Amino acid sequence: MKIVILERSSVGEDVSVDCIGKLGDLTIYDNTVRVEEVQERVKDADIIIANKSPLREETLKDAPDVKLICEFATGYDNCDLAYCTSRGIKVANVRDYCTAMVAQHTFTLALALSQKLFYYDEYVKSGEYSTQSRFSHFDLPFYELEGKTWGIIGMGNIGRRVAKIATAFGCRVIFYSITGRSNYREYPQVNKETLLRESDFVSLHCPLSDLSRNFIDRDALKKMKKDAVLVNVARGGVVNNADLYEALEAGEIAGAGLDVVEKEPLETGNPLSRLKDSNRLIITPHLAWASVEARRRCVEEACLNIAAFLRGEERNIVNP
Dist. CA 209–CA 36, nearest whole Å: 27
Quote the pLDDT of residue 320. 84
**Does residue 202 carry a pLDDT above 90?**
yes
The residue from 8, 161, 205, 235 that is catalytic is: 235
Q: What is the mean pLDDT of the chain?
A: 98
The 10s digit of each residue's pLDDT in 34-74 is 999 999 999 999 999 999 999 999 999 999 999 999 999 99
One-letter amino acid at 265 equals: P
Active site residue 235: yes
HEC string for 214-242: CCECHHHHHHCCCCCEEEECCCHHHECHH
* Higher per-residue confidence, 270 vs 75: 270
Instruction: Lay out the sheet containing 229-232: strands in order across.
Output: 172-176, 149-153, 201-204, 229-232, 255-258, 281-283
The residue from 87, 172, 197, 286 that is catalytic is: 286
CB 197, CB 231: distance < 8 Å: no
Quote the pLDDT of residue 117. 98
The 10s digit of each residue's pLDDT in 81-130 is 999 999 999 999 999 999 999 999 999 999 999 999 999 999 999 999 99
**What is the band of 175 on the pLDDT scale with cuts at 50, 70, 90?**
very high
Non-local CB neighbours of 77 within 8 Å, separated by 6+ positions: 208
The 10s digit of each residue's pLDDT in 217-244 is 999 999 999 999 999 999 999 999 999 9
pTM of the model: 0.93
Pairing of strands 281-283, 255-258: parallel
Active site residue 87: no
Quote the pLDDT of residue 245. 98
β-pair partners for 4: 27, 48
Quote the pLDDT of residue 105. 98
Active site residue 280: no
The residue from 144, 264, 293, 314 that is catalytic is: 264
